[in-house]
Amino acid sequence: MKKAIYPGSFDPITKGHYDIIERSSKVFDEVVIVLMKNPDKKALFTIEERIEMIKQTCANLPNVTVDVGEGLTVHYAKKQNAKVMIRGIRAVQDYEYELRNATANMWLDADVETCFFMAKPEYSFLSSSSVKEIASFGGDVSKFVDPYVITKLKEKFDTKNSK
């Protein structure tokens, strides 16, 4: 069985993330979306909220699951018996960053491969950060995220703006 992991913060999951997940679910028998705990990143949503958004967004993909990991992603992959780490590439900056990480991971564990999925053109400049910024000012993010995520963003920013 070909098992792959797709690590990230998914704060929140976007249609660009979903596109990578859906496409990779057609290539691999099992895809595990891994929310990697990163103490250097300040997340808008809790781990539990992000898990729920991913589950809601990916409910139609039976071979996709969600988990939480910490530490080095390549070590998580090894523990889970996953031979592939999925990474999405939007632009040149992503490629340079991901190439450095993939090279480091090869040194750490040559048995775990990194598989790059190119973003579709309509998602090539989409990021969770831009979605959060647009939503924080009441902008329409319906082209960028699932309806459930829109609800969660509104709840989060209505709470923040009412303080």
CA–CA separation, 93 vs 90, rounded Å?
A: 8
Residue 6 near residue 33 (C-beta atoms within 8 A)? yes
Phi, psi of 116 (to 5 degrees): -90, 130
Is 162 part of any known ligand binding site?
no
The token pair at 125 is: 């400049």
- The residues annotated with a catalytic role in the active site are 17, 41, 90, 128
Is 9 known to sit in a ligand binding site? yes
Contact 10, 43 (CB under 8 A): no
Structure tokens given for 162? 């009412």
Has 88 been labeled as part of a binding site?
yes
124 is annotated as contributing to ligand binding:
yes
73 labelled ligand-binding: yes
Q: Largest Cα–Cα distance in the chain?
A: 50
Q: Is 90 annotated as a binding residue?
A: yes
25 is in an annotated binding site: no
Give the C-alpha distances (Å, rounded to integers) separating 76 from 14, 18, 26, 94: 23, 22, 22, 22
Task: Flag whether 138 is marked binding.
Answer: no
Q: Identify the burial level of 112 via C-beta atoms within 10 angstroms of its C-beta, where 0-12 means exposed, 13-18 middle and 19 or more buried.
A: buried
Q: Is 65 among the annotated ligand-binding positions?
A: no
Query: Is 22 annotated as contributing to ligand binding?
Result: no
Write the single-letter amino acid at 38. N
* Binding positions: 9-10, 17, 41, 73, 87-90, 98, 123-129
Annotated binding site for ATP: 9-10, 17, 88-90, 98, 123-129
Q: Which residues are annotated as a binding site for substrate?
A: 9, 41, 73, 87
